[in-house]
Amino acid sequence: MQFCPTCGTMLLFELAHMAHPNQFFCPTCPYVCRVENKIKQHTPLVRKPMEPIFSEDDQKVINKTSGVSCPACGHGEASYIEVQTRSADEPMTIFYRCTKCKSTWKEN
């Protein structure tokens, strides 16, 4: 992304046609920057390591329930924590972890 040195607005790109070459232009002021050389830049994506759903702090507030069956092993007891993952007017999401096999699943 390029920004206008005059007003700070993000510059738009315009492909070449009869009147002018490729150029960046500011939609707010008359600034124009003609593109004379090809520029290629590759930025590799860096993935963040996945964090566990149940953090160390969450372990202190986790509740246990016996009315839930684990979809992986069928065990009838799981720990759960409620998290607000969507907007405030939506219900909370419940994350479960089986106390036997440690499998994790969620219920919206």
Q: Tell me the CATH number at 24.
A: 2.20.25
Residue 5 lies in a domain: yes
Q: Residue 69 and residue 46: Cα distance in Å, rounded? A: 37
- The reply, when asked if residue 26 is annotated as ligand binding, is yes
Q: What is the pLDDT of residue 10?
A: 94
Question: E-strand spans in the chain?
Answer: 12-14, 23-25, 32-34, 63-65, 78-83, 93-98, 104-107
Is residue 85 within 8 Å of residue 70, measured between CB atoms?
no
Dump pLDDT digits (tens) for 1-46.
Answer: 889 999 999 999 988 877 778 899 999 999 999 888 777 788 899 9
Number of structural domains in the chain: 2
Kind of pairing between the strands at 93-98 and 32-34: unpaired
Three-state DSSP class for residue 63: strand
Q: Is 7 annotated as a binding residue?
A: yes
Give pLDDT tens digits for 99-108: 889 898 988 6
- Residue 78 covered by a domain: yes
The answer to whether 4 is a known ligand-binding residue is: yes
Q: pTM for the full model?
A: 0.43
73 annotated among ligand-binding-site residues: yes
Q: Is 33 annotated as a binding residue?
A: no
Q: Is residue 49 part of a domain?
A: no
Q: Kindly report, residue by residue over 70-97, the tens digit of the pLDDT.
A: 999 998 888 888 888 778 788 888 888 8
Domain span holding position 93: 64-107
Shortest CA distance to 83 belongs to which of 98, 73, 94?
94
